[in-house]
Amino acid sequence: MLLLRPVPSRLRWRLALAFHSLALLAVVHSGAPLWLQASATLTVLASFWHEFRGFRGRGVAVSLRLGAKSVALEIDGETVAASPPRMLHGSEWLLVLEFPLESARRRHLLLTLFPDSLAADELRRLRRWLHYESD
94 plus 118 within the same structural domain: yes
Residues 33 and 82 in one domain: no
Q: What is the arithmetic mean of pLDDT over 13-21? A: 93
Which whole number is the average pLDDT over 5-30? 91
In sequence order, what are the residues at sequence separation of 6 or more whose Cβ sits closer than 8 angstroms to the Cβ of residue 73? 61, 63, 64, 65, 79, 80, 82, 99, 101, 109
Domains in the chain: how many in total? Answer: 2
In this prediction, residues 32-45 reach a mean pLDDT of: 95
- Band the pLDDT of 104: cuts 50, 70, 90: low
Same domain (yes/no): 38, 89: no
pTM score, whole prediction: 0.75
d(CA 80, CA 73): 5
Same domain, 49 and 70: no
Q: Are 34 and 95 members of one domain?
A: no
Q: How far is CA 70 from CA 84, 91, 95, 102, 122, in A?
A: 7, 24, 20, 11, 19
Q: Using 50, 70 and 90 to split pLDDT, how confident is the model at 47?
A: very high
Residue 98 shares a structural domain with residue 72? yes
- For 100, the domain range is 2-6+60-132
69 and 38 belong to one structural domain: no
pLDDT (average), residues 13-38: 94
Note the pLDDT of residue 112: 87
